[in-house]
């Protein structure tokens, strides 16, 4: 042992082993501080957990396909829907936006990397270990049911169910601790994004010339700083309750479960916007390029984004209309909730106005963005319905709510993420994704999505609550649940096609070139994939669409922009 030299990758005197190349390659990914590599790591990690959480969703749907089914035990069902929600929000949603942001923000503002490359790597590995830690709970701690103790406390984890007397195992601990770790990772990524956008922009790129995607990442990061903080505080209080004898939320010793709800939803509602704002950013990049027009009302789009972020911090208790607030309290949150409709309305109108008068090419990214517009419109309208407090007393915690937030998180957020994949995959890999598979993916996912989530609205109105592992045959929900599950199956097939497309196109996709979409932002001016240093020369811009100016020297944007 003593005389053997360990092959430290990169060190000059290391003995080269047969698989040293592979080791070095792996090592380069582990120690990388390059924003592009970290972005890819984030995204791959998110795609992996998208498949995991999707599998959990399919198990949930198999269990509910017929009444009184015994596919899953109640315990496992509760674990699966808790893990589905937690995974999709924290391990898929949060990581994928910061992954895409990581990759694109420096490229879009003409920078060579993020402001703090080491913090960037640290943030990723924190988030990644948090996620692995969460999933270790399936096999890790001892549980009552012989299969570890994955959290089965719902993703909103209301106290006092999470307190020691009611969950004596370790499920809540895994949930709380992994979210604390991931939370710190997310905070690092958010600080980095803000610092990068504010201090690394290339010459000529004023704040009002930043691509909208970068603006939305800045707003989302700001919102992240506001929202992750109370979540982390609440998790720490919960752990103190469980192990150090405090009684923050423990009703049996005089604590207040309502306080947990406030903490959780002060995080939880803005969190929805943390996820959806980058999706807006993606739509604001894709829609203009495929409509062949500049974004309509850029200043209003920026103002609306900032406005949404501000208003979104005042609406949290609309998740709590049923906890017995006073009439005045309820009325306040009705008003603040409905106010969100104004800036989001502006955004929808501006996107439609961008398409108006254009020459729209319906390539796969644009298909996803168009469907996003339609579904986001529906999500906004059902959001208004849920914001009407008395109606919320009926709809709250029913399948109508599930339908509504899947319209935002799947129908809007995930559709935009898919658009981003088809749009920027050529930049990242140098290869186009297959359009044929892309169209299959889109149409199957679109049909499956509507079959599942449109139907859920109705079964919710017929009185079916969420979080139930079984239901009686005579409640009138059976047929609808059958179709909901069938829709889920179609979506699952579509996602598999997508995963296959990612792999196949990487191996033998069409060469992309620098600028396959004839686009206008800076990332398309560099080779695909971009070199480690991004830009050989620091770019200088004079408008929001530097590549438009290059392509149309006689008719540049800077002459017209407000």
Partner 1 sequence: MQRRRSSCLTRSQVFCLALGCVRAMPSVAQGTLTTPSILAPASTPAKEIYGLSLFVLLITGTIFVVVGGLLGLVIIRFHARKGDAEHEPAQVYGSTQVELAWTVIPVLIVVVLFLTTARIIFAIQGAPEPKSALDVTVVGHQFWWEFRYPKLGIVTANELHVPVSTSSNPEPTYLKLLSADVNHSFWVPQLGGKTDLIPNHPNQLWIDPQEAGLYRGQCAQFCGVEHALMLIRVYVDTPQQFAAWVKNEQQPGAQDPAVAAGRRVFETEACMNCHTIAGTAAKGTFDPDLTHLMSRATIAAGAAVNTPENLHDWIKDPNTFKPGALMPAMQLSNQQTDEVVAYLLTLH
Site for partner 1 in 436-475 (CB under 8 A): 450, 454-455, 457-458, 461-463, 465-471, 474-475
- Indicate the residue among 164 and 504 with the shorter CB distance to partner 1: 164
Chain residues 396-415 in contact with partner 1, contact rule CB under 8 A? 396-398
Q: How far apart are CA 321 and CA 107, in angstroms?
A: 44
Chain residues 91-150 in contact with partner 1, contact rule CB under 8 A? none
CA distances from 392 to 197, 266, 381, 434, 495 (A): 39, 19, 13, 44, 33
State the minimum distance, in angstroms, from the CB of residue 408 to partner 1: 14
State the minimum distance, in angstroms, from the CB of residue 99 to partner 1: 30
Chain residues 278-297 in contact with partner 1, contact rule CB under 8 A? 291-294, 296-297
Is residue 160 within 8 A of residue 149, CB to CB? The reply is no
Q: Which two tokens stand for residue 10?
A: 């990169």
Is residue 561 part of the contact set for partner 1 (CB under 8 A)? yes
Is residue 78 part of the contact set for partner 1 (CB under 8 A)? yes
- Indicate the residue among 78 and 120 with the shorter CB distance to partner 1: 78
Q: Which two tokens stand for residue 108?
A: 């879009």
Count Cβ atoms below 10 Å from residue 346 Cβ, excluding itself: 18
Contact with partner 1 (CB under 8 A) among 15, 28, 55, 73: 73
Is residue 374 part of the contact set for partner 1 (CB under 8 A)? yes
Chain residues 251-280 in contact with partner 1, contact rule CB under 8 A? 251-252, 254-258
- Indicate the residue among 297 and 546 with the shorter CB distance to partner 1: 297
Per-residue b or e along 493-532, where b marks 16 or more CB atoms closer than 10 Å to that residue's CB: ebbebbeebbeebeeebeebebbbbebbbbbbbbebebee
Is residue 17 part of the contact set for partner 1 (CB under 8 A)? no
State the minimum distance, in angstroms, from the CB of residue 193 to partner 1: 27
Contact with partner 1 (CB under 8 A) among 10, 26, 74, 203: 74
Is residue 134 within 8 A of residue 185, CB to CB? The reply is no
Q: How far apart are CA 159 and CA 86, in angstroms?
A: 16
Selected range binding partner 1 among 14-22, 45-53, 214-222, 340-348, rule: CB under 8 A: 340-348
Chain residues 341-360 in contact with partner 1, contact rule CB under 8 A? 341-342, 345-346, 348-350, 352-353, 355-360
Write out the H or E segment, with its range, that includes residue 246.
none
Is residue 550 part of the contact set for partner 1 (CB under 8 A)? no
Region of residue 167 (phi > 0: left; psi between -120 and 50: alpha; otherwise: beta): beta
Q: What is the DSSP string of 90-142?
A: IIIIHHHHHHHHHHHHHHHTT-SS-S-HHHHHHHHHHHHHHHHHHHHTTTSS-
Is residue 361 part of the contact set for partner 1 (CB under 8 A)? yes
Interface with partner 1 (CB under 8 A), residue total 104
CA distances from 395 to 301, 392, 457 (A): 32, 5, 9
Helix (H, G, I), strand (E, B) or coil at 510: coil
Contact with partner 1 (CB under 8 A) among 72, 205, 378, 432: 378
- Indicate the residue among 138 and 483 with the shorter CB distance to partner 1: 483
State the minimum distance, in angstroms, from the CB of residue 559 to partner 1: 10
């Amino acid at each position: 042992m003593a005389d053997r030299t360990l092959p430290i990758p990169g060190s000059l005197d290391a003995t080269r082993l047969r698989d040293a190349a592979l080791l070095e390659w792996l090592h380069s990914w582990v120690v990388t501080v390059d924003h592009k590599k970290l972005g890819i790591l984030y995204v791959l990690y998110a795609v992996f957990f998208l498949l995991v959480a999707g599998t959990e969703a399919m198990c949930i749907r198999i269990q509910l396909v017929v009444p009184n089914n015994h596919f899953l035990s109640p315990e496992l069902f509760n674990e699966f829907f808790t893990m589905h929600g937690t995974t999709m929000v924290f391990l898929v949603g949060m990581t994928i936006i910061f992954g895409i942001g990581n990759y694109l923000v420096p490229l879009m503002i003409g920078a060579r990397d993020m402001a703090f490359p080491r913090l960037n790597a640290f943030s990723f590995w924190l988030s990644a270990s948090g996620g692995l830690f969460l999933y270790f709970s399936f096999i890790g701690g001892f549980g009552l049911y012989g299969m570890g103790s994955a959290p089965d406390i719902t993703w909103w984890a209301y106290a006092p169910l999470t307190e020691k007397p009611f969950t004596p195992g370790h499920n809540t601990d895994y949930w709380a601790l992994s979210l604390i770790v991931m939370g710190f990772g997310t905070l690092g990524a958010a600080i980095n994004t803000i610092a990068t956008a504010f201090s690394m922009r290339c010459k000529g790129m004023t704040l009002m010339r930043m691509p909208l995607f970068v603006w939305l990442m800045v707003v989302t990061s700001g919102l992240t700083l506001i929202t992750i903080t109370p979540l982390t505080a609440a998790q720490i209080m919960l752990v103190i309750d469980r192990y150090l004898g405090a009684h923050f939320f423990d009703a049996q010793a005089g604590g207040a479960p309502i306080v947990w709800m406030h903490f959780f939803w002060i995080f939880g509602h803005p969190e929805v916007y943390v996820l959806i704002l980058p999706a807006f950013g993606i739509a604001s990049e894709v829609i203009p390029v495929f409509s062949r027009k500049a974004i309509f009302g850029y200043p209003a789009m920026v103002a609306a984004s900032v406005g949404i972020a501000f208003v979104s911090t005042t609406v949290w208790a609309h998740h709590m209309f049923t906890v017995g607030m006073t009439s005045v309290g309820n009325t306040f949150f009705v008003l603040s909730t409905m106010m969100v409709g104004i800036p989001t309305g502006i955004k929808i109108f501006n996107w439609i106005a961008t398409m108006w008068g254009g020459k729209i090419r319906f390539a796969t990214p644009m298909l996803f963005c168009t469907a996003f517009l339609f579904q986001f419109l529906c999500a906004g309208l059902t959001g208004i319905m849920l914001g009407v407090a008395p109606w919320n007393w009926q709809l709250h915690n029913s399948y109508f709510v599930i339908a509504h937030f899947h319209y935002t998180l799947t129908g809007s957020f995930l559709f935009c993420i898919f658009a981003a994949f088809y749009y920027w995959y050529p930049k990242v890999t140098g290869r186009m994704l297959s359009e044929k598979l892309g169209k299959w993916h889109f149409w199957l996912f679109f049909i499956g999505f509507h079959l599942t989530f449109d139907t859920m609205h109705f079964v919710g109105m017929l009185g079916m609550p969420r979080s139930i592992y079984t239901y009686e045959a005579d409640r009138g929900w059976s047929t609808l649940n059958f179709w909901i599950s069938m829709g889920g199956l179609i979506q699952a097939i579509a996602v598999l096609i997508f995963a296959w497309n990612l792999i196949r196109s990487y191996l033998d996709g069409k060469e992309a070139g620098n600028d396959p979409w004839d686009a206008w932002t800076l990332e398309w001016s560099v080779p695909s994939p971009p070199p480690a240093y991004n830009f050989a020369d620091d770019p200088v811009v004079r408008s929001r669409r530097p590549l438009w100016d290059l392509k149309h020297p006689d008719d540049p944007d800077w002459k017209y922009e407000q």
